[in-house]
Amino acid sequence: MQFILAKEGYNLLLAKSGKEGLSLAEKERIDLVITDLALPYANGYEIIDSIRKGSLNKDVPIIIISGYRDDNSLAEGFEVGANDYVRKPISPSELIFRVRLRIGHAE
């Protein structure tokens, strides 16, 4: 995913854990968040909830890309504030389409 988005010209901030992602979201102006639900130290639901309650990036579009395929996970993702939910595996063209849908083409 990182390679695909970088190749399309998007600048990326990467986090290896939910805790690291939350720290970035509190310090950096972000155009889009892409998160999984199964992350160490803070799951995707917690990340989305914290971002939505924060001030700096509370209105940022959030896309969940997850291996959880059940409808309850999808519903909970939208309930906590995600704008989109994609079930893995995701093709490169679908990833690019969904990112462009939320924030447009890379500058």
Question: What is the structure's pLDDT at 62?
Answer: 98
Six-digit token string for 51: 């971002």
Averaged over 52-63, what is the pLDDT? Answer: 95
* CATH superfamily of the 2-103 domain: Response regulator (3.40.50.2300)
Q: Would you say residue 95 has pLDDT above 80?
A: yes
Q: What is the pLDDT of residue 7?
A: 95
Return all residues near 50 (Cβ < 8 A) that are at least 6 apart. Answer: 22, 25, 42
Task: Calculate mean pLDDT across residues 38-60.
Answer: 94
Q: Given phi > 0 = left and psi -120 to 50 = alpha, else beta, which region is 41?
A: left
pLDDT in tens, 31-47: 999 999 999 889 999 99
DSSP 8: T
Please report, as a single letter, which amino acid is at residue 60: V
- What's the mean pLDDT in 50-69? 95
pTM: 0.94
Structure confidence at residue 107 (pLDDT): 65
Per DSSP, the three-state class of 62 is strand
- Give the span between the Cα atoms of 99 and 95, in whole angstroms: 6
Question: Is 96's pLDDT higher than 90?
Answer: yes
